[in-house]
Structure 1
Amino acid sequence: MSNLRQEFIEFSVKAGVIRFGDFVTKAGRNSPYFFNAGLFNDGANLGKLAAFYADTLINSGVEFDMLFGPAYKGITLASATAVALAARGRNVPFAYNRKEAKDHGEGGTIVGAELKGKVVIIDDVISAGTSVRESVEMIRAAGATPCAVLIALDRMERSGKDDALSAHSAVQEVSNTYNMPVVSIGNLNDLFDYLSAAGADAQLTQYKQAVAAYRDRYGAV
């Protein structure tokens, strides 16, 4: 695990954004951990999160011209990442969408810079891929090119029902469907490595076995 990925997982755990226990996911699965980017809800934590996004994007080598944040969480994430990129000498425009079209003023569903060139979609996680599909459609409709998706955490889970699991994760399916990379700051393997290295911290190591079992059952190769 790279230092950046390790720092992100540790930061998320200490901020209470990655929590351990018994949670039910959108897919109806009982998960021993839960990630909620909405809990990065103060200025300091949001600024640090944006720095992780910016550094990960720069390190990825993806060529891009602007950022797009799908409503709702993506709005904050894209705007904060744009600020962090500017602080690193890369000033790029960003845009986001409204859930409902505005019928006065400038109207429309897109707010911010004009969608053009190569666009990176910024979100927190990919579950069913609905947000990415809608974003790709809006970007292409504007004549721009979606070039990558940047997320905080890749859960690396096979999609589908328990009795008919897909061979691929939601992230892999998005990447294959739209022929573009999905870049994550951290993933399930990084989280497991963090728990494995927790050492004497019994509060964390007690969850290692549960996370390992969950990864064995649902993890995508």
Structure 2
Amino acid sequence: MTPDPRARLRELFLQRAVLFGDFTLASGKKSKYYINSKRVLFHAEAITLLGELLYDATKDLPVKAIGGLEVGAIPMAAAALVAYHRAGRPLEGFFVRKQAKGHGSKELVEGQVAAGDTVVVIDDVLTTGGSVVQAIDAVTAVGAKVARVVCICDRLQGAGKALAAYDYRPLFTIRDFGIEPEAS
């Protein structure tokens, strides 16, 4: 275990994921910076650290599963599953498709999530929270209960307000990367 996994993951995000320029976000908003978490989520050390942090952020809960909207939540869920396994605790993973497949089981939620299950919904970077709300809606539609919402980075542009009804815990905010939030 790394002495300070949060500090080291922050350092890796600063080195690999924080980009400056002109970007259009998933929310449709324009931004002068972008957090490309995939540049970190597919790095061995970073994904291990993230698993530790996701475990620490959720270990107090009696959860059955962890997951969120494809694509960002998939490696995050895998990291959490490894950390839970190492801690001797069972946990299922899932992901929510942006739209149901037209073949096979045609499921929107992939993985072992059923009515009555308590879950944690995760996402990488949140601006308005729209993507994570889509995942929340999908798992609650199958009857699961959302115990907590965790993201890697909150850009501080409305996600907290959109998730006010949930136990919402970002691992970092954009300020942790030395950036002030842009006007909404």
Question: Which category of TM-score, normalised to the shorter sequence, fits these structures?
Answer: 0.7 to 0.9
> Secondary structure of 1:68's match?
strand
Deviation of the 1:218 alpha carbon:
3.6
- Provide TM-score, normalisation by structure 2: 0.80
| Structure 2 residue 132 is matched with structure 1 residue 132 | yes
Q: Residue 107 of structure 2 aligns with which residue?
A: 108
| Structure 2 residue 140 is matched with structure 1 residue 175 | no
Q: Residue 32 of structure 2 aligns with which residue?
A: 30
| Structure 2 residue 153 is matched with structure 1 residue 153 | yes
Decide which structure has greater strand share: 2
For residues 47 and 5 of structure 1, the distance between their equivalents in structure 2, rounded to whole angstroms, comes to: 11
Match among 177, 188, 194 for residue 174 of structure 2: 188
**One-letter identity of the residue aligned with 1:65:** K
**One-letter identity of the residue aligned with 2:10:** I
Aligned-pair identity in percent equals: 21
Q: Structure 2 vs 1, CA of residues 52 and 105 (structure 1 numbering), >3 Å: closer, same or farther?
A: same
> Secondary structure of 2:127's match?
coil
Deviation of the 1:172 alpha carbon:
1.8
**One-letter identity of the residue aligned with 2:154:** D
Q: Residue 47 of structure 1 aligns with which residue?
A: 48
Deviation of the 1:93 alpha carbon:
0.9
Q: Does the aligned pair in 2 maintain the 1:69–1:76 contact within 8 Å?
A: no
| Structure 2 residue 106 is matched with structure 1 residue 120 | no
Deviation of the 1:42 alpha carbon:
3.4
Deviation of the 1:99 alpha carbon:
3.1
Q: Residue 97 of structure 1 aligns with which residue?
A: 96
Deviation of the 1:4 alpha carbon:
4.8
> Secondary structure of 2:14's match?
helix
Q: Residue 73 of structure 2 aligns with which residue?
A: 74
Deviation of the 1:173 alpha carbon:
1.4
> Secondary structure of 1:172's match?
helix
Q: Residue 7 of structure 1 aligns with which residue?
A: 8
How many pairs align?
Answer: 176
Structure 1 stretches of 4+ with a deviation exceeding 4 A read none
Aligned alpha-carbon RMSD (Å): 2.5
Q: Does the aligned pair in 1 maintain the 2:5–2:49 contact within 8 Å?
A: no
| Deviations 1:165-215, CA, capped at 9 Å, x for gaps | xxxxx2221222xx11211111233223xxxxxxxxxxxxxxxxxx3xx44
Q: Does the aligned pair in 2 maintain the 1:71–1:98 contact within 8 Å?
A: yes
Deviation of the 1:148 alpha carbon:
1.5
Deviation of the 1:77 alpha carbon:
1.4
Q: Residue 160 of structure 1 aligns with which residue?
A: none
**One-letter identity of the residue aligned with 1:29:** S
Relative to structure 2, which stretch is displaced further, 140-149 or 47-56? 47-56
For residues 35 and 106 of structure 2, the distance between their equivalents in structure 1, rounded to whole angstroms, comes to: 34
Q: Residue 142 of structure 1 aligns with which residue?
A: 142
Q: Does the aligned pair in 1 maintain the 2:113–2:144 contact within 8 Å?
A: no
